[in-house]
Amino acid sequence: MSSKKVLDESLTRDIECIMISAAQLQARTQELGREISRDYRRLLGSALEENTPIAIGLLRGAITFMADLTRALSIPIEYDFMQPSSYGQSHEAGPLRLLHDLTQPVVGRHLLVIEDIVDTGQTLSYLKEKLLQRGAASVKLCALLDKPARRQQAVTLDYTGFCIEQDAFLVGYGLDYAERYRNLPYVAALKPQAYQGE
């Protein structure tokens, strides 16, 4: 029996094209997992067990990537979540607020922030500063997707899955438009007419 599923037409009719296939996502996530595990082993050595890093997933877009990435790690890792204000129903950015915060203090902890996509850089530069102010021992930034041409605020990513050069609005593999498309197994560009005139 074939395991290939047919996606509902309502999920695919506004998709312009697939930008990153499920197989490419899988392969790159495994590579990142190996790289991140190696780096934390180098940084923490035998102290890794008492100094377990915390993966901080940014709700909601990063959870799919976080689930795959953390399972590709060969080191111990804890989970926590933050929710910066999202684009809501729109594809345009607005001012940043924190809708959900961490459930524990991070003083002296090593943090790996996991984001779906970096656009202007506002979210990650704000969060990194905030976490360092709270006394984190280190803050590393990992983003599945990066749109460097759109950057307004300098931010150095420690790990990047894929660089996106095209001017496209992306959905799938956790990323939404108006809360839809998160469960697509790939990353796709949305047809401009699907969000223009909103």
**Going residue by residue from 106 to 145, which x/- string records binding to ligand 5GP, judged by CB under 6 A?**
---------xxxxxxxxx----------------------
Q: How far is the CB of 112 from ligand 5GP (least distance, A)?
A: 16
68, 119, 158, 176: the catalytic one is: 119
Q: How far apart are CA 41 and CA 30, in angstroms?
A: 17
* Residue 64 engages ligand 5GP in binding (rule: CB under 6 A): no
Measured in whole angstroms, the distance separating CA 13 from the mean position of its chain's CA atoms is 25
Q: How far is the CB of 123 from ligand 5GP (least distance, A)?
A: 3
Between residues 137 and 180, which has the closer beta carbon with respect to ligand 5GP? 180
**Going residue by residue from 143 to 172, which x/- string records binding to ligand 5GP, judged by CB under 6 A?**
--------------------------xxx-
Q: How far apart are CA 138 and CA 132, in angstroms?
A: 7
Enter the tokens of residue 85: 């204000």
Q: How far apart are CA 110 and CA 140, in angstroms?
A: 8
Contacts of 58 (CB under 8 A, 6+ apart): 81, 82, 83, 84, 113, 114, 115, 116, 123, 127
Q: How far apart are CA 117 and CA 126, in angstroms?
A: 15
* Residue 52 engages ligand 5GP in binding (rule: CB under 6 A): no
Q: Which stretch binds ligand 5GP (CB under 6 A): 18-26, 41-49, 97-105, 174-182?
A: 174-182
- Asked whether 175 and 168 are in contact (CB, 8 A), the reply is no
3-state secondary structure of 113: strand
3-state secondary structure of 40: helix
Between residues 32 and 58, which has the closer beta carbon with respect to ligand 5GP? 58
Which residues make up the interface to ligand 5GP (CB under 6 A)?
A: 61, 86-87, 93, 115-123, 169-171, 175-177
Annotated catalytic residues are 119
